[in-house]
């Protein structure tokens, strides 16, 4: 299995913003599309990762972790809160990216890490299609009504006649977007959505192929190679069995099938169409279980945000870093220039070693 950080681009209304000595003020929205490389059009090419002070070319030779290419040399990444020019000028390992603000200034800022109900100041801090409303990441509401869908109400409430009302759950029911969505059957079950319009779900032992799921929750049966596939552009999807890969070479993601991505070869100029899950290496298996256990024991809403500013990273820092180091394959040339360290010795308790189902695709 390959855990992937889900990135979204935001577009909001233009709001005037005064000049600031690099301290964005709360309440202003991002006015333009984020100026970052379009991963849908990124080609695979061979690149050498440069160290601090090494010569570089911004188009072909990439600098290593915590550095970026400036005037032909690899220099330290721009510090958080300071002005920047390009998406990669900031320290991505620490979760900072070059974010544009309405007055035209770009600042190294945290991006795309907060889930439903978490604190925020700007829309770009929220995951997926969420907006920053009243200081918390939430679904956007319509101006003339309080709600239309349950998901537009705060946690613990539902939408009734365009008003958010307190949620009263019956036996066997659960709240789909709850931070405790895994607490059905004393942690042995999961909350299955009943529809893509309601936040009331049903406690089940597992979600089967073909049933509704949440894209940002680990709620399909990965042991049977099933993943939550987006079907309508929302946070909901359908548990679907991912088919085996096509073996095609690729230069762009569009060269591959819907359930594949173009994995760049570090030593050649082409990529290979790869399914979103493959057999896990022994070290990766050792790190995934502690991460999932830490996640289930935390109050975090999603396991799919490994951003350093995310709830999961704050509660499970070492577990996240080990997964990034041992389980995440680079999908773009620059990814191979990032460095993550992992103290694997903490997982070497062979007497008490537990294994999780390994995703296996037959070739």
Element (H, E) at 296: helix 282-296
> Is residue 102 situated within a structural domain?
no
Q: Give yes or no: residues 256 and 328 share one domain.
A: yes
Residue 160: which residues within 8 A CB-CB, separation 6 or more?
Answer: none
Query: Residue 253 — φ and ψ, nearest 5°?
Result: -55, -30
Q: How many other CB atoms are there within 10 angstroms of residue 194's CB atom?
A: 15
> Is residue 294 situated within a structural domain?
yes
What is the per-residue pLDDT for 82? 95
> Is residue 363 situated within a structural domain?
no
What is the chain's alpha carbon radius of gyration, rounded to the nearest angstrom?
21
Q: Give yes or no: residues 222 and 309 share one domain.
A: no
Number of continuous H segments (helices) and E segments (strands) in the chain: 3, 19
Please report the beta strands in 80-178, taking only residues with DSSP state E, as ranges in sequence order: 96-100, 106-110, 131-133, 136-138, 157-160, 163-166, 173-175
Q: Give yes or no: residues 210 and 261 share one domain.
A: no
> Is residue 272 situated within a structural domain?
yes
Q: Give yes or no: residues 260 and 348 share one domain.
A: yes
Q: Give yes or no: residues 276 and 325 share one domain.
A: yes
> Is residue 323 situated within a structural domain?
yes
Using DSSP, state whether 255 is helix, strand or coil: helix
Cβ atoms of 97 and 37 within 8 Å: the answer is: no
- Rounded CA separation 30/12 (Å): 6
Domain that holds residue 302: 249-352
Q: Give yes or no: residues 341 and 290 share one domain.
A: yes
> Is residue 223 situated within a structural domain?
yes
Residue 144: which residues within 8 A CB-CB, separation 6 or more?
Answer: none
Q: Give yes or no: residues 205 and 278 share one domain.
A: no
Pairing, β 62-63 against β 49-50:
parallel
Q: Can you read off the two tokens belonging to residue 293?
A: 């256990």
Q: Give yes or no: residues 325 and 281 share one domain.
A: yes
Q: Which of 115, 195, 180 is nearest to 149 (CA)?
A: 195
- Rounded CA separation 88/278 (Å): 29
What is the total count of domains within the chain?
Answer: 2
Q: Give yes or no: residues 234 and 196 share one domain.
A: yes
Chain centroid to CA 76: 25
What is the per-residue pLDDT for 72? 86
**Final residue belonging to a domain, choices 188, 219, 241:** 241
What is the per-residue pLDDT for 81? 93
Query: Residue 262 — φ and ψ, nearest 5°?
Result: -90, 105
50-89 pLDDT tens trace: 778 888 876 655 677 788 888 888 899 999 999 999 888 8
Per-residue pLDDT of the chain (363 residues; tens, 9 = 90+): 333 322 222 222 222 322 322 233 332 222 222 333 333 334 455 455 677 888 887 665 567 778 888 888 889 999 999 999 988 889 888 889 899 987 889 999 998 888 877 889 888 898 867 788 889 887 776 656 677 666 667 667 777 777 888 878 888 888 876 655 446 877 678 888 888 777 788 999 888 999 998 875 667 876 677 777 776 556 788 888 877 777 788 877 678 776 676 776 656 667 778 765 544 556 676 777 788 788 878 877 776 677 888 888 888 888 888 887 777 655 444 555 666 667 656 655 444 443 333 332 222
What is the per-residue pLDDT for 28? 26
> Is residue 227 situated within a structural domain?
yes
What is the per-residue pLDDT for 275? 67
**Final residue belonging to a domain, choices 241, 272, 295:** 241
> Is residue 15 situated within a structural domain?
no
Q: Give yes or no: residues 290 and 230 share one domain.
A: no
**Final residue belonging to a domain, choices 210, 241, 272:** 241
Q: Give yes or no: residues 283 and 322 share one domain.
A: yes
What is the per-residue pLDDT for 107? 95
Q: Please tell me whether the overall predicted TM-score, pTM, comes out greater than 0.75 for this model.
A: no
Q: Give yes or no: residues 200 and 183 share one domain.
A: yes
């Amino acid at each position: 299995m390959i855990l992937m950080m889900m990135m979204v681009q935001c577009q909001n209304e233009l709001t005037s913003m005064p000049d600031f000595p690099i301290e964005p003020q709360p309440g202003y929205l991002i006015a333009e599309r984020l100026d970052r490389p379009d991963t849908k059009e990124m080609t695979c090419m061979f690149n050498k990762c440069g160290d601090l002070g090494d010569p570089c070319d911004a188009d072909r030779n990439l600098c290593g972790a915590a550095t970026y290419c400036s005037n032909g040399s690899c220099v330290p990444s721009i510090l958080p809160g300071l002005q920047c020019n390009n998406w990669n000028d900031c320290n991505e390992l620490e979760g900072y990216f070059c974010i544009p603000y309405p007055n035209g200034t770009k600042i190294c800022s945290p991006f795309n890490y907060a889930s439903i109900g978490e604190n925020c100041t700007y829309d770009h801090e929220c995951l997926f299609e969420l907006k920053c409303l009243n200081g918390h990441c939430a679904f956007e509401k319509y101006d003339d009504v309080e709600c239309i869908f349950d998901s537009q109400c705060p946690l613990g409430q539902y939408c009734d006649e365009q008003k958010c009302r307190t949620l009263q759950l019956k036996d066997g029911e659960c709240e789909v977007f709850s931070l405790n969505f895994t607490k059905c059957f004393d942690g042995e079950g999961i909350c299955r959505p009943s529809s893509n319009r309601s936040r009331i779900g049903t406690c089940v032992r597992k979600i089967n192929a073909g049933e509704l799921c949440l894209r940002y929750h680990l709620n399909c049966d990965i042991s049977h190679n099933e993943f939550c596939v987006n079907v309508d552009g929302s946070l909901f999807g359908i548990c679907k069995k991912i088919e085996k890969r096509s073996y095609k070479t690729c230069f762009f993601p569009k060269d591959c099938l819907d359930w594949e991505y173009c994995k760049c070869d570090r030593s050649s100029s082409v990529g290979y169409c790869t399914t979103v899950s493959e057999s896990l290496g022994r070290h990766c298996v050792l790190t995934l279980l502690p991460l999932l256990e830490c996640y289930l024991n935390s109050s975090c809403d999603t396991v799919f945000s490994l951003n350093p500013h995310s709830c999961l990273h704050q509660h499970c820092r070492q577990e996240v870093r080990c997964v990034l180091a041992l389980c995440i394959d680079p999908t773009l040339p620059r990814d191979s220039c990032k460095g993550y360290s992992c103290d694997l010795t903490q997982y070497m308790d062979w007497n008490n070693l537990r294994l999780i189902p390994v995703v296996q695709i037959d070739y």
